[in-house]
Structure 1
Amino acid sequence: MKSKFIKKGNQIFKGIHIILLLFLIVFTSCNGQKKENIVTKKAFPNKEKIKILADSISIPAENLPEFKTDPHIKESQGNQISGVVRTMLQDKNKNFWFGTQNGLSRYDGQSLVYFDIKNLNGKSITIKAIAEDKTGNLWIGHSDGITKYDGTYFINYTENDGLISNDVWSITTDRNGTVWIGTLQGACSFDGEKFSVLALPKAKPDPTRGVTSDKIVHNIMEDSQGQLWFSTNGGAYIYNGNTIIGISEKDGLCNDYVNQTVEDLKGNIWFATAHNGLCYYNGTKYTPIEISLFDKDISIGSVIEDSKGIIWFNADKRNLYSYNGKELTKHTIEIGDSSPGTFQIYEDQQQRLWFVGFKGAYRFDGNSFVNITRNGPW
């Protein structure tokens, strides 16, 4: 299918306010200084990498206590995979990986194992994103840089190696094997040898969030045409390898504070925003999902399209919805005195939907939600 977003001549991004930042060509800032769009930061060849044998830090789940006092503390998470699961991924070998508030865990089809990864100060890290490259390496984005797992060793990279910021919020790998990292201080790529900064324009920090900045990149998505979409506090930015094109409220986007972008099976791009709900772009116009249940200032955190073509998203973390293009259905996970908050919605290779966040991991069986604990059901 031909891209709806990159066209020739006068058809380039019809109706969209365009910010063209030429690859490796300088642009002029307000004070007249010149900046490069791509800035290469060389890795430090003499720095000894933090390389840790996986077996040396693995802890079987049954060796951890099962009582629960605080969802943020690994040692007191009860029987949950974690009190707070930030993200998950199923790799090519069908292993399930869970990034949590206190580190990394893996279910390999037989047992659940925790990897006690710590930062340079000896403290547990918070994992916010996991991606797999085309050769099967895992790339883990967390609160102290990024970590590569090759199946045997964990190798950590930080600002000392050229990473733009140690506070990583998003990570993806493109079809060429390049790793793209979104951080509190902007975006960069890693080709295995060096880091290169992608200079996105500054935005306005979101004052309603506990952690924010004028450069934070919440999410990175590669579409079917190989273009990269960066979700920021200043709208969405599309990078095709040569130019960066910005999309904002001026173009019809429902809100500039974009949490995530997703491409559906028809080629539409969906935007989950922090303050004005959900909308999608079909190549011609933006269409908001008008829902009477929503307040105007509604925050959409995670959005996906499942294998059946149904859009799933969470509103204000605790409310879950599915949208089939005509009807909206609200779903509720019943547990205790409050529903668990969702950080990520994920569909596995068996086409099962997972919802991970506060109070652990849950899976939708078509009618109800099942809490997936250390003992499954897997």
Structure 2
Amino acid sequence: MHTSRSFLASPLLSSLVIMASCDAQVPASTAGDVVVAASPGQEVRMDTAQISDYIVAALEDSQGNLWFGTVGDGVVRYSADPSVVPGERLRYFTSKDGLADMVASSIVEDKQGHIWIGSHDGATRFDGKTFTAYKAPEGLHGAGCVLLVDRNGTLWAGTNDGAFRFDGTRFQPFDIPTPAIKEPSHKWVAGKVWEIIEDSRGNIWFGRDGYGACKYDGTSFTHFTKEDGLCSNNVASIVEDPQGHLWFGSITSDFPPVQEGGLARYDPSASLRTGGKAFTQFPHMKGLTANDIYNVYRDRSGNLWIGAVRVGAYKYDGKTFTLFDRTDRPDLTKYFGIQAFVEDRHGTLWFGFSGGLFRFNGTVFKNVTRGGPWQP
């Protein structure tokens, strides 16, 4: 199940704001309409405003609706219901509707069909009619919230204060042991949970700030740190490829400042082979070493998409890394990097960037505004 990352209370969010202003992007609130000819003698007004300047989470639910989490604009739903007039399919939900706050950085769906939205101040459940917020009084402490629903239906949450599990009523703390680190450093808050995923074997993985990655098999914990082969101990993203390898996107440290981070691949079976090396780093590729890798995603074809801050986005097909950057795609923003990703049931890839929402047709990234185009 796709899990969106939390960008709350992180240096990336601040840098995105700076990047947007430097690139002279038009804020969604100031964009206007464009009049296009639908047929001779008929004009249709298309809304060209960006859905949001920062789209940091994405999900397709079981009904085919697309959900996008934003920074400042709440959560946005594009309805798949054909009975809804096309011009009314896009709907914004905000704190006035019951969201915990206006930053929606993580979106998942549980087995009951409820939509859960992680935000700066807790999480919110939407049952199709009503929003219910879960904050400190309901046991969910700490800023920034990343969510996962595992194969058993358990809802996990990670914040600046660590990990939590939902018992159906409240969030209960889930204590993760702290590994011994020879040279401690972190990006934001030591122990912050940046990422939670479940692998094909049913293990739960946590990406943590300052403590590397941790695997929980239901009974015991196994820690992986820079000494084992990670690019840094600040793990912001984890994904499993079709071969069962785990990929880790890590980020630089600010406390103290250490220029590290990058992309590393872990082969769980390597230790079973004589002389096998479990971790492989990618130090010779622009943007994949000594850089912030906040996001790594896997599409339905098995391709990996890696967002490299200030460099671009890489697509890895199992053999070749292909870089999409401003040079190759001048229509993309200068500081192009994936912030959110979802592949819908039709195979269309949707990407959230600083600057708005884009749809990828296999060759070109097409900007999708409030007025569309939503269809190929």
Asked if residue 362 in structure 1 is aligned to residue 358 in structure 2, the reply is yes
- Offset, 1:338: 2.6
**Aligned length in residues:** 304
Q: How does 1:1-378 map to 2 (within 5 A)?
A: 75-76=29-30, 79-102=49-72, 103-109=74-80, 110=86, 111-118=89-96, 124-165=101-142, 167-202=143-178, 204=184, 206-207=186-187, 212-233=188-209, 234-274=211-251, 275-283=260-268, 284=270, 285-294=278-287, 296-316=289-309, 318-332=311-325, 333-335=329-331, 338-378=334-374
Runs of at least 4 residues off by over 3 Å: 70-78, 201-205
Partner Cα separation in structure 2 for residue 73 and residue 255 of structure 1: 35
* Cα contact 2:310–2:334 (8 A) shared by 1: no
Closer, same or farther: CA 96–71 of 1 in aligned 2, 3 Å? farther
Aligned twin of 2:11: none
Q: Percent identity?
A: 35
Q: Structure 1 regions of 5+ residues with no counterpart?
A: 1-69
Q: Distance in 2 between matches of 1:176 and 1:206?
A: 32
Distance apart, 1:222 and its partner CA: 0.9
Tell me: CA distance 1:292–1:318, structure 2 relative to 1, closer, same or farther (3 Å): closer
Structure 1 length-normalised TM: 0.74
Alpha-carbon shift at residue 341 of structure 1 (Å): 4.2
Cα distance, 1:162–1:372 mapped onto 2, change above 3 Å: same
- Which residue pairs with 2:14 in the alignment? none
Are the aligned partners of 1:104 and 1:117 in contact in 2 as well (CA < 8 Å)? Answer: no
Using the size of structure 2 for normalisation, the TM-score is: 0.74
CA contact (8 A) 2:57 2:352 kept: yes
Question: In the alignment, what sits opposite 1:28?
Answer: none
On the 8 A contact 2:101/2:120 being kept in 1, the answer is no
Q: Report if aligned partners of 1:148, 1:154 keep a CA contact under 8 Å in 2.
A: yes
Describe the SS at the equivalent of 2:342.
strand
Name the structure 2 match of 1:38: none
> Structure 2: how far apart are the matches of 1:322 and 1:298?
17
Distance 1:77 1:180 in 2: 38
Deviations 1:138-161 (A, max 9, x none): 110001210000111000010011
Aligned to 1:65: none
| Residue 279 of structure 1: how far off its partner (Å) | 1.3
Please give the alpha-carbon distance, in whole angstroms, between the structure 1 residues aligned to 2:217 and 2:26. Answer: 39
Q: Per-residue displacement from partner, 1:175-224 (whole Å, max 9, x unpaired)? A: 122110010111101021232211124585634xxxx2112111110111
Residue by residue over 1:57-116, the C-alpha shift from the partner in whole angstroms, topping out at 9 and shown as x without a partner, is: xxxxxxxxxxxxx97976446611111111111100010001101211100034101112
Q: Secondary structure of the equivalent of 2:137?
A: helix
Q: Which runs of no fewer than 5 residues in structure 2 stay unpaired?
A: 1-23, 33-48, 81-85, 252-259, 271-277
| Residues 333 and 354, structure 2, Cα contact 8 Å, conserved in 1 | no
Separation (CA, whole Å) in 1 of partners of 2:170 and 2:101: 26
- Alpha-carbon distance in 2 for matches of 1:71, 1:116: 23
Asked whether the equivalents of residues 231 and 289 of structure 2 are also in contact (C-alpha less than 8 Å), the reply is no
